Amino acid sequence: MPDLGTTLLTLARNAIAARFGLPAAPVAVDLPELAKMGATFVTLTQHGDLRGCIGSLEAWRPLMQDVQENARSAAFRDPRFEPLSADEWPLTRVEVSLLTPPEPLVFRDEADALARLRPNIDGVIFLAGNRRATFLPQVWEQLPEPAGFMARLKQKAGLQAGYWGPDVRLERYTVRKWKEAAP
């Protein structure tokens, strides 16, 4: 029976490759998990540097569709980057993260929230008013200290790094992730 991670990586790669008119790699789509609702993030890197990352925080469509749509969005609609070009495609590595449902993090204040975070385990959603941002657990590799992680997450939400107010809510989730090997 095919492995879920290999299947998700192939589905993501095929979804992007199709935009360049490239042939699809064979993939087994008879895994029951692919028809279940699932939330994924697809991250694209080149030489270890981020090249696109788009995803779903909540499961609202079948896993197979979610990973394909997020792959295309990471490649062609991430507002931080120009659309991926055919020349870049061979240099691009794909990573798929399958998220658990987010759970509210209960805390008294910012110090308590930081103490409750689990580096390298938790993905974090920061919400304040109409602002929202998330970091996948993989971001802990670049920002290993909870205070720095939270400060950058607030900035990603469009707020000052030192912002904290009564409207702040936090949610956390974990991921299963699969990444293509470097060439």
Alpha-helix runs per DSSP H in 88-145: 110-116
pLDDT of residue 182: 74
Q: Which domains does the chain have, with CATH numbers?
A: 4-99 (3.30.700.20), 103-174 (3.30.1490.150)
CB count within 10 Å of CB 41 equals 24
pLDDT band at 183 (very low <50, low <70, confident <90, very high): low
pTM of structure:
0.93
Q: What's the CA gap between 44 and 179, in Å, rounded?
A: 10
Distance CA 98, CA 100 (A): 7
Q: Is the pLDDT of residue 47 over 60?
A: yes
Instruction: Using CB atoms within 10 Å of the CB of residue 130, give its burial: 0 to 12 exposed, 13 to 18 middle, 19+ buried.
Output: exposed
